[in-house]
Structure 1
Amino acid sequence: MLPDSGHPDPLPILRERFGHAAMFPLQERIVRRVLGGGDALVVMPTGSGKSLCYQLPALTLPGPGTSLVFSPLIALMEDQVAALRAKGIRAQYINSSLRRAERERRYAKLAEGAYELVYATPERMHKPEFVQALANLPGSVKLLAVDEAHCITKWGHDFRPAYQQVGQFRRALRSPPTVALTATATAEVRTDIRRTLGLDEVQMPLFASGIDRPNLRFEVLDCWDDDAKLAALAEVARAWPGTGIVYFSLIKQLELFAARISELDLPLELVIYHGQLDAAEKQRVYQRFIQAGPDQRLLLLATNAFGMGVDKSDIRFIVHAQVPGSVESWYQEVGRSGRDGRPSLCSLLYCQDDLAVQQQFVEWMNPDARMLAEAAHHAQAWPHGEFDVDDLRPLLIRRDRGDRRAEACLTVLEKQGVIAPVGSSGRYRFVRPPEADEFDPADIEAKRERDLHRLLDVVKLIKADDQRAFVIDYFGLDADA
């Protein structure tokens, strides 16, 4: 890449600090625009090099200051910072998982200009200490990156209320060059991202990689019962050597299939991953998965708790044994297969009864305003400081132990900033009481309807004659973008 006249050349930084000789053409176009002072909306699959599109300009832009990255995913930001620091890059993260003393230490270092890149959750925008540290920073915030940008909009599949203020915060930073990044965004979501940031399509043009990946084979198989699903899984495992993932919506269904697959004479190694495993077992399974070679034919049965940040290029097949909750989540999950460019299978086993499971999830994931207020009250009154979902569940759910509304309450309270996670242990601490009108019944019902509409889109995907064509049309992107 030849630098534009008057713009810094990123190639020496790319070679010396990232260890790469060149960029992909799309990455180059994005980096060129940002170094020229422009903004960019980036839609690229997970694992395709989105992060370099802001990390490289962040280190190349001249002058004192830092670059700020907002990300809602604490675990992922911690992994990214660890990877940058291993390269000798002065990166750090600030989020609610840190103890107060450590957060204050990092605020002080930020104010001194010690960091080249700072990762933070969007909720930090509302913390005076964070705002003051940025104000005291030598120089300025030279670049703003908004990762998982679909979380900005209520039309996205993982809305984070704090992200709604990112446009106002950007203006308070004197509108530095801004990169908004996501793996999946419909045309409606892209429009809302720009609106929230206060930019239009000319000011923030779209840079999208081709959504069509010819090496991925899509199929939907009608399966009337678990026996039919088991037969389909066995056929896939025999026909596609290498590492594979089978996704389930319910842990009990995952465990049932794990037992039944173990009884079959299949040449594979079977492992499981779900949210109820302890941290040590999750790490063990993750490492085993990453290290598995094709000849070992590892088969992972997992819920959607597995996958974010997974960097493995040779996943040969991904099967959804139960209907997913949205086209976006399905596409993100199948998109983890075949990143090495070799043929890979993406199979969805459709049983109409599974739709009822997802409909129940929609009800569970949208607890009413009364239950949210009650959960906030119990969190504030909890006598032992830190708490987890098992502490609050008996106070909220009196009968059905399978009811997931307690988990949903904690998710909503965390997104609203009422509670904050403590480390990665699944425990929380109380932060503030909710405002009087914070849990609006009309907003809750509107979200529930959006979730049901997304499930209807999954049915349309299943019934489509051509799933590839449906996906291209759904996201409003050309096949080769």
Structure 2
Amino acid sequence: MTEQDAVRRLRQIATETFGWHEFRPGQLRAMSAVVAGQDTLAVMPTGSGKSAIYQVPAMLLDGPAVVVSPLISLQHDQVVSLLDRGIVARELNSTLGATERETVYRELADRDVQFVFLAPEQLARDDVRERLAAAKPALLVVDEVHCVSSWGHDFRPDYLRLGDLVDQLGRPVVLGLTATASRPVRSEVVERLRLRDPLVVVSGFDRPNLSLAAVPATDADGRLAAVVERAAGIAGTGIVYTTTRRETEQYAAALGERERDGRRLRAAPYHAGLPKAERARVHEDFLVGRLDVVVATTAFGMGIDKPDVRYVLHAGVADSLDSYYQEIGRAGRDGEPAEAVLFHGQADLGLRRFLSAAPPDEQAVAQVLAAIQAAGTPPLRRDLAQQTGLAVQLVGRCCSLLEQVGAVRFDRRNRLHPSSSDEADLVSQAMRLAETRQQVERSRLDMMRDYAETTGCRRQFLLSYFGEELPEPCGNCDTCHNGSAEQHARDSRESPYPLDSRVRHTEFGVGQVLQFDGDRIVVRFDEVGYRTLSLSAVEENALLEQL
């Protein structure tokens, strides 16, 4: 099939099968690459139609598409949507019984299924990997692909083995999709998934209809009052993000006491501690308009397809700019004006650091490695948990670190085999890796603080984090409105270090220049994460060498 024929067929399928008459920026380019057999990484904003990038070309491929998606609810929504269009799609997840699972396997073997959705945890099962391989899939789709990167804001060890899966499935075309991936994340995704000569499509991160603002609010009561006042003053539905479950209940109650247009706001809390049925009810009520505002932890929002959300308010800093961008991206998907406001205080950073997962201690890592080396037959992670008395989740994190430093390897049955290297050195390597990752997490939080405190154009700061340059202040953020962005721009000077260039710091080592903001330069160092440096101090003390 020629490229011209492929484009024609893609347009035809999009119109006749899915009812889509126009492509959004970047979609057709990515689809064409997939049809041509080229690995592809597509980074596109929330609401830009990422699912179309695999659904349309998969209809032209000879073999099923395997879609790895992190949440069962998202898998189910996609399956229902495809079935409604007469396309055979199935799920393979923990909700299926043995009979239902066997039925899906049989349909795969008979080539009756065009799409099969599963979570990465399912790939730990021997039967899943073997049956998928036997079906000879033509396309492997990895949704939320930033989860594969230790630089990503939602790193998940289960995603690490997707590179091995590619080979086990017979090397189908690989398509990675995400709404948020900075340059370091994109580089690691390509490496981890072993993408071959991939096309990397990065659609514009700018959402001009979103008005950006940050409001200092250190006092808890004052912050609550300010958030409620802001939400009550904006017409339409919205989402308020809080840091803790307790705060969701507190803010929802306060919002429910507030009136707008002669009636009380309809507000509800949402967090992972609520019963599943209650979470489903809140989700549905929000989508159909029975709620004005949902107050949630980050457990809410993934898979929300509601175009008329008019505001997203954060009652505290997110854990990173990646998370923040993804969360505010749920506002204004209809292209109409919407607001994204961050209420922040110095104590937020300490709370976020407290809530972040601490790395496994050295004793636990050594204990797990010793158990693997002493095992008569290769153990599973649950075997190790029983033997060591450690929690399964902790054992999994230890194994992930040990795998990444080459101390152990997983076989096709997900059993663990030791390497022959020196144990003490391997444990030390694993601990250094854990410490590096923790430093990265802290540095990403520091970038969130810098966004909140910048006096420059807030949109320029946010976009530059993702590698996108906005030549002039945006005119639609608080710093542009109050004039500080203009003053900041006048005081700025050109950076002597080009963006993306590699540099070496006298203390922090080698890194990549990501951002220039006035007299500050942001570098992502390989070993210590993001650092914001004073350009004057850098030049005065000769701290950076361009490589």
Q: Establish whether TM, by shorter chain, passes 0.5.
A: yes
Counterpart of 2:173? Answer: 177
Tell which structure's C-alpha radius of gyration is larger. 2
SS of residue paired to 2:282 = helix
The code of the aligned residue for 1:328 comes to D
Equivalent-residue separation in structure 2 for 1:279 and 1:104 (angstroms):
27
Change beyond 3 A, Cα 1:319–1:244 = same
Choose 224-233 or 279-288, whichever is displaced more: 224-233
Counterpart of 2:463? Answer: 472
How many positions carry a matched residue from both structures? 433
Q: Give the one of 163, 166, 171 matched to 1:167.
A: 163
> TM-score, structure 1 length as denominator?
0.80
Task: Provide Cα deviations, 1:252-307, integer angstroms capped at 9, x if missing partner.
Answer: 223233333444445422221111111111111111100117xx7x1221111111
Counterpart of 2:183? Answer: 187
- State the 1:367 CA deviation: 4.7
The code of the aligned residue for 1:455 comes to L
Equivalent-residue separation in structure 2 for 1:58 and 1:113 (angstroms):
14
SS of residue paired to 2:112 = coil
Check if 1:81 corresponds to 2:79: yes
Counterpart of 2:235? Answer: 241
The code of the aligned residue for 1:163 comes to Y
Contact kept, 8 Å, 1:380 with 1:433, in 2: the verdict is no
Equivalent-residue separation in structure 2 for 1:335 and 1:105 (angstroms):
38
Equivalent-residue separation in structure 2 for 1:90 and 1:83 (angstroms):
10
Q: Give the one of 269, 277, 281 matched to 1:272.
A: 269
Q: Give the one of 59, 68, 72 matched to 2:66.
A: 68
Task: Provide Cα deviations, 1:3-42, integer angstroms capped at 9, x if missing partner.
Answer: 6147771233223321223322421222122222222210
Contact kept, 8 Å, 1:211 with 1:479, in 2: the verdict is no
Measured on the aligned residues, the alpha-carbon RMSD in Å equals: 3.3
- State the 1:432 CA deviation: 8.2
Contact kept, 8 Å, 1:215 with 1:341, in 2: the verdict is yes
Task: Provide Cα deviations, 1:432-461, integer angstroms capped at 9, x if missing partner.
Answer: 887779994444333322221211111111
Contact kept, 8 Å, 1:320 with 1:349, in 2: the verdict is yes
Contact kept, 8 Å, 2:253 with 2:267, in 1: the verdict is no
Contact kept, 8 Å, 1:250 with 1:303, in 2: the verdict is yes
Change beyond 3 A, Cα 1:444–1:95 = farther
- List aligned pairs for 1:20-419, cutoff 5 A: 20-61=20-61, 63=62, 65-137=63-135, 140-199=136-195, 203-266=197-260, 267-292=264-289, 298-362=292-356, 364=357, 366-368=359-361, 409=394
Task: Provide Cα deviations, 1:136-165, integer angstroms capped at 9, x if missing partner.
Answer: 33xx32222121111122111222223333
- State the 1:380 CA deviation: 5.8
Contact kept, 8 Å, 2:308 with 2:331, in 1: the verdict is yes
Gaps of 5+ in 1: 383-394, 397-405, 417-430
- State the 1:365 CA deviation: 5.1
Equivalent-residue separation in structure 2 for 1:124 and 1:286 (angstroms):
25
Task: Provide Cα deviations, 1:345-397, integer angstroms capped at 9, x if missing partner.
Answer: 100001111222101012x45454667989x7799659xxxxxxxxxxxx99x
Equivalent-residue separation in structure 2 for 1:158 and 1:414 (angstroms):
18
Change beyond 3 A, Cα 1:346–1:15 = same
The code of the aligned residue for 1:165 comes to R
Check if 1:445 corresponds to 2:443: no
Task: Provide Cα deviations, 1:170-201, integer angstroms capped at 9, x if missing partner.
Answer: 2444433321111111111111111223346x
Equivalent-residue separation in structure 2 for 1:130 and 1:448 (angstroms):
33
Counterpart of 1:455? Answer: 445
Change beyond 3 A, Cα 1:265–1:198 = closer
SS of residue paired to 1:230 = helix
Equivalent-residue separation in structure 2 for 1:457 and 1:86 (angstroms):
43
SS of residue paired to 1:214 = coil
The code of the aligned residue for 2:287 comes to I
Contact kept, 8 Å, 1:44 with 1:182, in 2: the verdict is yes
Equivalent-residue separation in structure 1 for 2:469 and 2:181 (angstroms):
13
Contact kept, 8 Å, 1:35 with 1:57, in 2: the verdict is yes
> TM-score, structure 2 length as denominator?
0.71
Task: Provide Cα deviations, 1:194-217, integer angstroms capped at 9, x if missing partner.
Answer: 1223346xx212212211111101
Instruction: Give the % identical residues.
Output: 36
SS of residue paired to 2:150 = coil
Task: Provide Cα deviations, 1:301-337, integer angstroms capped at 9, x if missing partner.
Answer: 1111111100101111111001211111111100100
The code of the aligned residue for 1:167 comes to G
The code of the aligned residue for 1:9 comes to R
The code of the aligned residue for 1:207 comes to V
The code of the aligned residue for 2:147 comes to C
The code of the aligned residue for 1:180 comes to G
Equivalent-residue separation in structure 1 for 2:431 and 2:254 (angstroms):
43
SS of residue paired to 2:48 = coil
Choose 278-287 or 251-260, whichever is displaced more: 251-260
- State the 1:98 CA deviation: 3.0
Higher relative contact order (CA 8 A, sep 6+): 1
Task: Provide Cα deviations, 1:101-148, integer angstroms capped at 9, x if missing partner.
Answer: 4333322322221211112233444543233323433xx322221211
